[in-house]
Structure 1
Amino acid sequence: MLFVWVIFVLFPLATLLHELGHFITARSFRADNTRIILGIGPILFRVSNRFINIEVHALYFIRGYTIGVESNELPNLQKALISVNGPLINAVVGCYGWMYAENLPFESTNGQLIFLFSMVNIWIAAGNLVPFKLGSKKSDGFIALEMLMKYIKAITQKGAKS
């Protein structure tokens, strides 16, 4: 039963928090055409208003991503911050959850779920901060590092011309 909770509730919830980190940061930089997509397959439901735009698909537990944040109009440093803030949300939630779970009896269902939710968030944060590229897919860490390198290169070239 705990496995079902982890796969169908805790991972998707942590993924939503992760994508909200990207989404909120992108929106704070005026990337208005941003939306969160959870899962694959047919759309189960969509929440769209002036504050948020989320699509939840039938296999919502498989993956999540935020689109519209790769806009070429955004400076590289802002793109790096957008990339980092997804894992950062997971790291903060994971650490706070872990501290909270230590005060609960582990034998209780709540204690186990909060501990597992913390571990899921820490797993997502760590996995996304590692810079790697598989085919055309890039991790958040890879994107942040790539954008920081472009930002530094632009600054050094600008300084060399002065």
Structure 2
Amino acid sequence: MNTLILLYLVLFVAPISNLIHELGHLIGAKLAKADEVKLYLGRGTSVCKFVYRTTEIDIGSVFFTSGFTVSRREEVYKPIEIVYITFFGPFLNAAVALILYLLFLHMQNDYILVLMLYNCWLFVMNCIPFKIKDQQSDGYIIMKELIGKGNK
């Protein structure tokens, strides 16, 4: 892998793909009529914040790392709402990967390929149910809600 592709992966692909993933959760929360949604991209000190009505996007100084989205609603979410809020993150990565694949078929390019593969990777990894300490994958949250242990 050449240096340019590596820089592209770290500085562009990872943050954009993570943003796409978190925007999926944000869309799911909006569909569930969340009272407030906060999307965090990256870690570290906040360097940029966008606020629009009840939605906030906060970008950290280490923007190329992961992100997370938090939503709240006065009325408690039903398990099925938690499932689709959670599912929309990986789903949006899969949709973007499919679009990039179709684009790649017509315009083969390493940059499109890396972006497509990273979105595929995010989709697959987030669908696998696992829990490490307090961190739960999207697949784990969905599985937990579907088998009825989400509210216990």
TM-score, length of structure 2 as denominator length: 0.90
Partner residue, 1:76: 79
Query: In the alignment, does 2:31 pair up with 1:28?
Result: yes
Distance 2:100 2:78 in 1: 34
Q: Identity over aligned residues, as a percent? A: 25
Determine the structure 2 residue equivalent to 1:44: 47
Q: Does 1:3 align with 2:16?
A: no
Aligned-residue offset at 1:68:
2.1
- In structure 2, the residue matched to 1:154 is none
Instruction: Label 1:35 to 1:73 Cα distance change in 2 as closer, same or farther (>3 A).
Output: same
**Residue 128 of structure 2 aligns with which residue?**
130
The DSSP-based 3-state class of the residue aligned with 1:34 is strand
Matched, 1:150 2:148: yes
Give distance in 2, aligned partners of 1:24 and 1:139: 18
What SS does the aligned partner of 2:53 have? coil
- Contact 2:45/2:61, CA 8 A, preserved across alignment: yes
Q: Which runs of 5+ in 1 are unaligned?
A: 152-162
Work out the CA distance in 1 between the residues paired with 2:75 and 2:64: 30
- Secondary structure at the counterpart of residue 77 of structure 2: coil
SS at match of 2:106: coil
User: Cα deviation per residue 1:33-90 (whole Å; 9 max; x = unaligned)?
Assistant: 2110011111111000126310001001111000125987000011011111100000
Q: Is the 8 A contact 1:48 1:54 kept in 2?
A: yes
TM-score (norm 1): 0.85
Q: Which runs of 4+ in 1 moved over 3 A?
A: 69-72
- The one-letter amino acid paired with 1:55 is D
Taking a change above 3 Å as real, the CA distance of residues 97 and 71 of structure 1, as seen in their structure-2 partners, is farther
Aligned residues: 146
Give, in whole Å, the separation in 1 of the partners of 2:105 and 2:18. Answer: 23
For 1:48, the aligned partner's letter is: V
Unmatched tracts of structure 2, length 5 or more: none
